[in-house]
Structure 1
């Protein structure tokens, strides 16, 4: 285990004494709408963002994996483990261990590797930094070992890394977005059947993403509780998943014990909002898109209870801004980021003034992720 100053950001050559053989990247994502629907078999609408996770790799002749993270919060030493001896509980290295563990369990043959990882996707931002890392690692190993895996298979393996090894009960949306989504194009995904379609964003709109500065953690308790509540509600309603409850039968949720009725109402109405958003995108109906964004946020705040005061403040500031069509919490909640739709050409100014007002009123240090600041 080699330690170094956290202020040093060595290259792959400096770390390992030779150049990398493979260099790949995978994006973070913003979910335009469709929150907490993926693990209920429903619909989602994510989009890739410019921020990427970068993975450099070189094969070794033994079974040793040596990995270095250039992220400031993680940097400082090369961490190591042996293939076949992966054991959870080692922080960020668990994602590397999870990837090699899942691949080997699927029958893929690996040797040891050296890895350098760096990422522009902020941790705990609701922009899927972990799925971006999973997919980046899987892409690097696919390239290095000529693994016969397509992009959808990579995404499914990435989900299993999170669920089976890291212990975060996430749905399939995040790795699918990191694996197959694009910039400026919404990925309309049916998470049950894995059917997907790329829907272009209409002209006349800027996507704005502001990180609240309040970090979240999908492997923590609240996210697990929401998923368990959904499973309990589906069992009481006699449906396989909440996706299977028609919106016309929402009255049935009134007989569920609180908060299960409200959790169900969010999932059912959010699925409907995804479908309505796809129609509005195709029609270029920006006013309707904004209404759907605000309705989604209100549902997350009141029925699903995954928002926090800082996120609500960002959305309230967006409501007060005449250049904003709509805004909502994006990601799993309990912190993270807000996504907004602004008038064409106003995104940078909107992000700046809302961030300034938010910082003054919350005491938090927000970060503008999109539009990317000059020089980013």
Structure 2
């Protein structure tokens, strides 16, 4: 059976909506600590096609998984499967008083699952964009991000921050989204024109709804309790001695967040001044902090970063995303990204036995 919308639902779709994946340049695990982040978009997108149907039923088809699912509006319940993302969205929209009807929806994505490139946020934002058009909902792009996060925190059960959803909803190609996760104020910062952005997926998938990610959040919350602050964002670099006096591993967890917030601010300044060497140093320092203090990296990702360090054309490299697998983001000299990305991927595959995927820059 064909997997087109018509073959699955017997009619043409009324609305098509898309949202890009994102790569976080720097600022990892700072978002749920009310800190700073600096993501940008990647070319890969998630696409949803929708049409209205009579009654309260939602029928869904996930083309990449070749799976169908359905549920009734008002009867959303956690299942632990992909359809929870849809259920979470309709549940949150209904709670906010938006009127929905039944609909058919087909989902497809170019963003690799578990890659650390926000496949889940891209799906949620694309779906909310589609429902906004299908049912003429009065929600802006920031509200879409808020709703997407609530859906993932709630029915899906992943205690993620707001960065991914804001990036997928508001970031634009060629620009970084400098975002303050406390008040959601943001600025679009043009990326340097004389670098290639290289994203290499390690071939090891991660899952935010798993225990490790939520454990890190709980550790940060406990650190705040012991330090007497509302969030780790409230701690300047000058408080590092107090932070490091916390019992382990809380001291290292908090040290990562405090220093990572400072690195984001330095990275924005480096981008604005065109100091690519400094920006690269910040990438490597960020990765070391995630590896040693926050302990969210893995051997395969560390290998990619070390292979990148050996390439003269690479300014810097770091794990991007929540960790425990996923992807590495690198900055390379303009015109060199495809070559060095391919060379690193080949050597990584040889040493690790994994199958990496070079996502950017794309082949010409």
TM norm structure 2 = 0.99
Counterpart CA distance in 1 for 2:142 and 2:21 is 16
Counterpart CA distance in 2 for 1:163 and 1:317 is 36
Give the alignment partner of residue 226 of structure 2, picking from 224, 236, 243.
236
Q: Is the 8 A contact 1:203 1:284 kept in 2?
A: no
Which residue is 1:50 aligned to?
A: 43
Query: How do 1:72-111 and structure 2 match up within 5 A?
Result: 74-76=65-67, 78-111=68-101
Structure 1: where are the runs of 5+ without partners? 1-7
Q: Which runs of 4+ in 1 moved over 6 A?
A: none
Q: Is the 8 A contact 1:135 1:158 kept in 2?
A: yes
Counterpart CA distance in 1 for 2:85 and 2:34 is 25
Counterpart CA distance in 2 for 1:341 and 1:9 is 40
**1:16, CA displacement in angstroms?**
1.0
In the alignment, is residue 346 of structure 1 matched against residue 336 of structure 2? yes
Q: Is the 8 A contact 2:179 2:186 kept in 1?
A: yes
Q: Is the 8 A contact 1:9 1:70 kept in 2?
A: no
Which residue is 1:5 aligned to?
A: none
Q: Is the 8 A contact 2:80 2:156 kept in 1?
A: no
In the alignment, is residue 215 of structure 1 matched against residue 205 of structure 2? yes
Give the alignment partner of residue 268 of structure 1, picking from 258, 275, 290.
258
Q: Deviations over 1:212-233 (max 9, x none)?
A: 0000000101001100000000
Counterpart CA distance in 2 for 1:188 and 1:199 is 7
In the alignment, is residue 191 of structure 1 matched against residue 184 of structure 2? no
Counterpart CA distance in 2 for 1:137 and 1:123 is 17
Q: Deviations over 1:112-147 (max 9, x none)?
A: 000011000000000000000000110110000110
Give the alignment partner of residue 38 of structure 1, picking from 15, 20, 31.
31
**1:90, CA displacement in angstroms?**
4.6
**1:247, CA displacement in angstroms?**
0.8
TM norm structure 1 = 0.96
**1:254, CA displacement in angstroms?**
2.6
**1:204, CA displacement in angstroms?**
1.2
In the alignment, is residue 299 of structure 1 matched against residue 292 of structure 2? no
Q: Go from structure 1 to structure 2 and tell me whether the alpha carbon gap of 1:90 and 1:296 turns closer, same or farther (over 3 Å shift).
A: closer
Which residue is 1:69 aligned to?
A: 62
Which residue is 1:356 aligned to?
A: 346
Which residue is 2:303 aligned to?
A: 313
Q: Is the 8 A contact 1:242 1:264 kept in 2?
A: yes
1:14 is paired with a residue whose SS is: helix
Q: Is the 8 A contact 2:2 2:8 kept in 1?
A: no
Query: How do 1:108-119 and structure 2 match up within 5 A?
Result: 108-119=98-109
Q: Go from structure 1 to structure 2 and tell me whether the alpha carbon gap of 1:297 and 1:9 turns closer, same or farther (over 3 Å shift).
A: farther
Counterpart CA distance in 1 for 2:73 and 2:163 is 28
Give the alignment partner of residue 281 of structure 1, picking from 271, 277, 291.
271
Q: Is the 8 A contact 2:204 2:325 kept in 1?
A: yes
Structure 2: where are the runs of 5+ without partners? none
Q: Deviations over 1:185-233 (max 9, x none)?
A: 1000000011000001112100000000000000101001100000000
Q: Deviations over 1:231-266 (max 9, x none)?
A: 000110111000001111110023210010000110
Q: Is the 8 A contact 2:3 2:66 kept in 1?
A: no
RMSD: 0.8
